[in-house]
């Protein structure tokens, strides 16, 4: 069957790229073709930016409740199509269907959430110091925004960036990841059918250097929100500094889960296992390091090995753990496993390609023990289902090793000791801290972001913090 031909979305229309070149999106479970997308040019990105510029003032002047009503209609449309969109997500990205369904529902919930928030963006009244006067603030959109999103949450992350941007009255240009852009098109269809005005939301597919580079360096872009690798994030930061655009960068992670001597080990195994192997380990918040007190170390390792070996690997429509998204991602994971062996860590289970009757990018869930914090597999982000188990002799050592990383995104402690739980919250260097919960999984109404090389440490995403990034304010003094 011929691949479905997709186009860009610009100024309220599905339009052909100026380029005749395309790229193919394939199912990582079996290499079947999902669709073909335009390998767009800088001119295509320029056209999308101009459409957003032309639409910006009218959208900013649209009453907040009216903007919210459009987001609410889009949420309902996406909710009606959730099963089909989830299956599409699994086919193009690879994650298990239950995980894909949860992600699509998250996008629905985000749209509903910001639909309501759109009515509350007028500003605040303040008490003036003098008589016969009024003092207030006025909230306004920042302008035209560029969004660059990753493949691992290909509908949730675009939605949690686009929804607050649109709710606040900004016009948007979005470049989705080339590995999994199809579900962004499904989101776009919902926004279009919900009545979003022409030019307010634009989608351009293509390379990061050509399309992404045009967006991030464009003088008309007022703010840039990026999620992806730290290396690319630094390029985005440098580009934005040339134009003065506001930036929001969410990047890598090397997330620790500390297991204390008081922890319920069965619970700890479930928490670490789901955090490490869920979504095939392809999450910036995935649990990558288990830092375990020596008194429960062997019991924990045995339990985690059993957890990994009981996972069913296969196509995401059928199994517990699907493939990695591309061959290059699989090769990168296998290279890190080889490095772990060479550096002297003990490979407890996994480490190879499973023997499956499928031509996909599969890797076994992998557990290393006897890992030292200085080892490469304990320092560099792997972005695959690999967890390093590190023994420690006390709680202070555990926290020190948790902080021994260039990253600081998410961290967890599993303990029945209230004192240690609170000390962990105080001392760990992470933007998201969890007690007796896995490092993955986020509530949509609270801030999300990291520290150190995990983030620009400027504005957080989600909740009211997500709106802060996409708005600016005026202070109004009235003397009557």
Query: Quick check: is 298 catalytic?
Result: no
Q: What is the DSSP string of 235-290?
A: HHHHHHHHHT-EEEEE----EEEEE-TTS-HHHHHHHHHHHHHGGGG-STT-EEEE
Phi-psi region of 478 (alpha: psi -120 to 50; beta: other; left: phi over 0): beta
Centre a 10 Å sphere on the Cβ of residue 193 and count the other Cβ atoms it contains: 11
Cα within 13 Å of Cα(248), Cβ side: 26
Q: How far is CA 455 from CA 225, 360, 430, 469, in A?
A: 11, 32, 10, 14
How many helices, marked H, and strands, marked E, lie in the chain?
15, 22
Q: How far apart are CA 183 and CA 34, in angstroms?
A: 11
> Taken in order 163, 164, 165, 166, is the CA torsion positive or negative?
positive
Q: How far is CA 284 from CA 157, 374, 451, in A?
A: 12, 20, 13
Given the residues 250, 329, 364, 429, select the one marked as catalytic: 250
Q: How far apart are CA 9 and CA 17, in angstroms?
A: 10
**Short-list 59, 56, 58, 55, CA closest to 67:** 59
Measured torsion, CA atoms of residues 112, 87, 185, 110, in degrees rounded to the nearest 10: 20
Residue 378 phi, psi dihedral angles, 5° rounding: -100, -5
Q: How far apart are CA 182 and CA 257, in angstroms?
A: 34
Q: How far apart are CA 350 and CA 365, in angstroms?
A: 5
| Helix 182-193 × helix 156-167 angle, to 10° | 30
Q: How far apart are CA 218 and CA 226, in angstroms?
A: 15
Q: How far apart are CA 197 and CA 69, in angstroms?
A: 13
Chain mean position to CA 325: 15
First vs last C-alpha separation in the chain: 72
**342 contact partners, CB below 8 Å, separation of at least 6:** none
**Token pair 């309902």: residue:** 76
> Taken in order 181, 183, 184, 186, is the CA torsion positive or negative?
positive
Centre a 10 Å sphere on the Cβ of residue 191 and count the other Cβ atoms it contains: 26
By annotation, the residues acting in catalysis are 250
């Amino acid at each position: 069957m011929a691949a479905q031909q997709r186009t860009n979305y610009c100024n309220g229309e599905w339009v052909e790229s100026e380029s005749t070149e395309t790229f193919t999106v394939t199912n990582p479970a079996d290499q079947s073709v999902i669709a073909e997308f335009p390998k767009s040019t800088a001119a295509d990105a320029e056209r999308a930016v101009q459409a957003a510029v032309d639409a910006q003032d009218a959208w900013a002047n649209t009453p907040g409740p009216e903007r919210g009503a459009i987001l609410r209609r889009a949420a309902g449309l996406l909710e009606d199509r959730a099963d089909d969109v989830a299956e599409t997500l699994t086919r193009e990205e690879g994650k298990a269907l239950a995980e894909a369904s949860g992600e699509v529902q998250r996008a629905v919930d985000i749209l509903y959430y910001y639909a309501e928030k759109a009515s509350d963006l007028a500003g605040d009244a303040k008490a003036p110091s003098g008589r016969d006067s009024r003092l207030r603030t006025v909230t306004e959109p920042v302008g035209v925004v560029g969004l660059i999103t990753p493949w691992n949450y290909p509908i949730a992350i675009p939605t949690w960036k686009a929804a607050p941007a649109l709710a606040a009255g900004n016009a948007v240009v979005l470049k989705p990841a080339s590995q999994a852009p199809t579900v962004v098109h499904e989101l776009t269809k919902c926004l279009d059918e919900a009545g979003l005005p022409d030019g307010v939301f634009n989608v351009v597919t293509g390379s990061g250097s050509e399309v992404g580079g045009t967006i991030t360096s464009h003088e008309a872009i007022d703010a840039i929100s990026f999620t992806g690798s730290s290396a690319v994030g630094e390029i985005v930061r440098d580009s934005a500094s040339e134009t003065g655009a506001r930036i929001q960068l969410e990047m890598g992670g090397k997330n620790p889960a500390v297991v204390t001597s008081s922890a319920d080990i069965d619970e700890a195994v479930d928490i670490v296992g789901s955090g490490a192997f869920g979504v095939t380990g392809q999450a910036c918040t995935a649990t990558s390091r288990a830092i375990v007190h020596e008194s429960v170390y062997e019991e924990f390792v045995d339990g985690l090995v059993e957890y990994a070996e009981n996972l069913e690997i296969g196509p995401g429509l059928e199994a517990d753990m699907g493939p990695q998204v591309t061959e290059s991602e699989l090769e990168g994971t296998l290279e890190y496993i080889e490095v772990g062996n060479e550096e002297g860590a003990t490979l407890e289970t996994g480490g190879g390609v499973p023997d499956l009757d499928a031509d996909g990018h599969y890797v076994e869930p992998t557990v290393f023990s006897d890992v030292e914090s200085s080892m490469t597999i304990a320092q560099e982000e792997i972005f695959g289902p690999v967890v390093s188990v590190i023994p420690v002799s006390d709680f202070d050592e555990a926290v020190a090793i948790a902080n021994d990383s260039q990253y600081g995104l998410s961290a967890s402690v599993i303990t029945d000791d209230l004192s240690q739980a609170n000390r962990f919250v105080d001392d760990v260097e992470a933007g998201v801290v969890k007690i007796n919960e896995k490092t993955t999984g986020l509530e949509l109404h609270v801030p999300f972001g990291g520290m150190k090389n995990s983030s620009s440490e400027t504005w957080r995403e989600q909740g009211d913090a997500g709106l802060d990034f996409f708005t600016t304010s005026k202070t109004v003094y009235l003397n009557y």
